[in-house]
Amino acid sequence: MAQFQTAPSTMDLGILNYAPTSEQGVVVLFAHCMQQLPYNFIKMEFVRSGFPDACVLQKNGKTFSRKYVEFEFKSSGFRTHERNAKHRDIRCDYVVCWENDHPACQVPVIELRKELKTLAGKLSGL
């Protein structure tokens, strides 16, 4: 039987029955709801295990731009990238997390827990 690091909160999030308990859950949830978020994301170009984790296309009027995303369960996990000299020169446009516990983050944070409260009813199962 699988062991959870944190007891998950029962939530019907459309694609998940429970609130995320890891970075992987954040990735799944973001992929499911990114087009409904107020950031005009339209498609993922890639997801990988390297830094940054993903590239998404963002619509800006009639043009599109690439935005690089790092996924974390808690935004404080991004501190390891802020401290890593090799990562300082690599572009990262957003941190996407379940819980924003790093208010001084140098990159804009998208806290899915908060965003989904705003989206309640717009996504299947919320």
70-95 confidence digits (pLDDT tens):
999 999 999 999 999 999 899 999 99
Domain count, the chain: 1
pLDDT band at 2 (very low <50, low <70, confident <90, very high): low
Query: Does residue 4 fall inside a structural domain?
Result: no
pTM attached to this predicted model? 0.87
Query: Does residue 88 fall inside a structural domain?
Result: yes
Task: Spell out the long-range contacts of 55-63 with Cβ–Cβ below 8 A and sequence spacing 24 or more.
Answer: none
pLDDT at position 31 over 70: yes
Looking at residue 10, its pLDDT comes to: 67
Cβ contact 25:9 at 8 Å: no
| Phi, psi dihedral angles at 31 (to 5 degrees) | -60, -35
Q: What percent of the chain has pLDDT over 90?
A: 75
Looking at residue 126, its pLDDT comes to: 47
Query: What's the CA gap between 62 and 94, in Å, rounded?
Result: 22
Query: Does residue 96 fall inside a structural domain?
Result: yes
Within 10 angstroms of residue 105's Cβ, the number of other Cβ atoms is 17
Q: Which of 66 and 18 is assigned the larger pLDDT?
A: 66
Query: Does residue 72 fall inside a structural domain?
Result: yes
Query: Does residue 124 fall inside a structural domain?
Result: no
Cβ contact 87:113 at 8 Å: no
Q: Which of 8 and 105 is assigned the larger pLDDT?
A: 105
Lowest mean pLDDT among 9-23, 35-49, 65-79, 100-114: 9-23
Query: Does residue 2 fall inside a structural domain?
Result: no
Looking at residue 101, its pLDDT comes to: 98
Q: Domain of residue 89: give its range.
A: 23-119
